[in-house]
Chains A and B, each alone.
Chain A
């Protein structure tokens, strides 16, 4: 039999292809990777960071009671250290997961580094004076006295969290973001960043407003404590706090925010959203005089 001309085959194939029923729209779920294939970039692998002891390991004695009180003060400061706070924030609003999370200034990484030399020559910063600074600048209140039960409890809690951690050693996860690489990439670029608060506002409305509110004033529970902390306003942290610097706040945001999705914002996005947050009013730095406050208010 004479073989068919290729042109006829092509025409036949075209007719069949046109007459065949149109295939269904591709399924979106086909593109979703299966459970075993999902690749998530870890902020830290658990083997690389120090693991503080679990809560059930708190000893059942008087020292253990002090540790428990310290944990309560840490997680609900406006209630358990009312006389020393001036705003609505708790310690655990920044030191996330009750002071345990690497990259969110964990207590177990800070404890062994104190006493440390201060910026002023000849001065030494003790752990207690650091706690007082937190109360004064970040909680907009007064530092607890060295012999107050609040101070003893907080020190006891920090010491207990550091059970087994090496002293005077730079531990991975210390501070806001000490890990230099994320999946092999450098996290901070060498060039001086340029901040755009207007771009940061868009990032804020998309990423942050879900929890912290479009007005940034946080979400309050029925008992007047905060479920999501305020980011600016009189109930938020003061201008003397470390997070009142754009670079530090950007590092914190990059490492920890949105909650559970740390590392998802780019460096530019984190810088811009930090610049937007810090362009809003907040309690003043208690170290500044009235002239400077007046100038800032007029600005």
Chain B
């Protein structure tokens, strides 16, 4: 084998090894995301003005407060957290009959009769969170979402009554097919780990939080779900179902690594 051939093969092997290393190593986090996480951490730990520190209720590491029913935020999806804060801050749109002071001719106004053009952005009204979210700037929301989504979490499974847990597992895997209700895991992922920005992770959430949110969906106080999917499910849940599923979700062992 000639020397040139050896050098050429060596160069090719080096390039190949470099490509393999680049594919093996995890992708680098962009510096702007790291900066957003740091700014979000500052706001979450210290607060600002009339914004209290998030960690006073949601725990020092975003793990939530099981006794008080404050939800865990660590490891939730960025898009989900962003959207919830936006929906907390959003005002209810004006509804009802509208009368013009001067009658106008609407015959030449183009009409949009498509049924899929009337959806409004969802609302999530909460006496505690809504005033806080209203005083957050869009950049704050982005930074807080980046910070809490990067936190890791190891859930502590809460013990429960075996029959309640069995019923909860039945609801989580199969739902109530006789009512047309799908199981939780069919959208929220296996063991409720969450799927994308639409379907949040439910594992490790305090039971009181799950029950309270299901109640709000039934009452219409929360309607920021995609296409009314969650509301259709919540409408069929009895108080016993809510109790069982909350106990089962809190009983799951769940771990999400810090980013």
Residues of A within 8 A of B (CB): 25-29, 31-35, 38, 40, 42-44, 46, 49, 51, 54-56, 96-98, 100-103, 106, 202-203, 206-207, 210-211, 219, 221, 227-228, 256, 258-264
Q: How many A-B residue pairs have CB under 8 A?
A: 103
9 CB-based A-B contacts, threshold 8 Å: A31-B95, A97-B175, A97-B183, A100-B177, A103-B180, A202-B116, A206-B227, A227-B195, A258-B227
Whether A98 contacts B174 in the complex (CB less than 8 A), given A43-B179, A261-B232, comes out as yes
Q: How many residues of B contact A (CB 8 A)?
A: 41
Chain B residues with CB under 8 Å of A51's CB are 178
Minimum CB–CB distance from B118 to chain A (whole Å) comes to 11
Cβ of B196 and Cβ of A219 under 8 Å apart?
yes
**Per a CB cutoff under 8 Å, which of A38, A55, A96, A206 touches B177?**
A96
Other A-B contacts than A31-B95, A227-B190, A260-B233, 8 sampled, CB-CB below 8 A, are A25-B94, A28-B123, A29-B92, A32-B219, A202-B116, A219-B195, A256-B180, A261-B228
Cβ of B179 and Cβ of A100 under 8 Å apart?
no
Chain A residues with CB under 8 Å of B51's CB are none
Chain A residues with CB under 8 Å of B186's CB are 259
Cβ of A97 and Cβ of B174 under 8 Å apart?
yes
Chain B residues with CB under 8 Å of A101's CB are 177, 180
Chain B residues with CB under 8 Å of A49's CB are 178
Residues 149 to 177 of chain B near chain A (Cβ within 8 Å): 166, 170, 173-175, 177
CA distance A149 to B114 in the complex (A): 52
Whether A207 contacts B183 in the complex (CB less than 8 A), given A29-B125, A51-B178, comes out as no
**Per a CB cutoff under 8 Å, which of B170, B173, B180, B189 touches A44?**
B180
Chain A, Cβ-Cβ closest to B94: A25
Whether A42 contacts B92 in the complex (CB less than 8 A), given A221-B190, A259-B187, A260-B233, comes out as no
Cβ of A260 and Cβ of B181 under 8 Å apart?
yes
CA distance A101 to B183 in the complex (A): 11
Interface string of B220-257 (1 = CB under 8 A from A): 11010011110011011000000000000000000000
Cβ of B196 and Cβ of A40 under 8 Å apart?
no
Chain A residues with CB under 8 Å of B232's CB are 40, 260-261, 264
Minimum CB–CB distance from B92 to chain A (whole Å) comes to 4
Chain A, Cβ-Cβ closest to B230: A260
User: Which has the most chain B C-beta neighbours within 10 Å: A35, A55, A206?
Assistant: A35
CA distance A120 to B95 in the complex (A): 60
CA distance A68 to B94 in the complex (A): 54
Chain A residues with CB under 8 Å of B59's CB are none
Minimum CB–CB distance from B87 to chain A (whole Å) comes to 13
Minimum CB–CB distance from A158 to chain B (whole Å) comes to 15
CA distance A264 to B116 in the complex (A): 13
Whether A34 contacts B95 in the complex (CB less than 8 A), given A260-B182, A261-B229, comes out as no
Minimum CB–CB distance from A246 to chain B (whole Å) comes to 21
Q: B96 within 8 Å of A by Cβ?
A: yes
Chain B, Cβ-Cβ closest to A207: B227
Q: B82 within 8 Å of A by Cβ?
A: no
Cβ of B174 and Cβ of A38 under 8 Å apart?
no
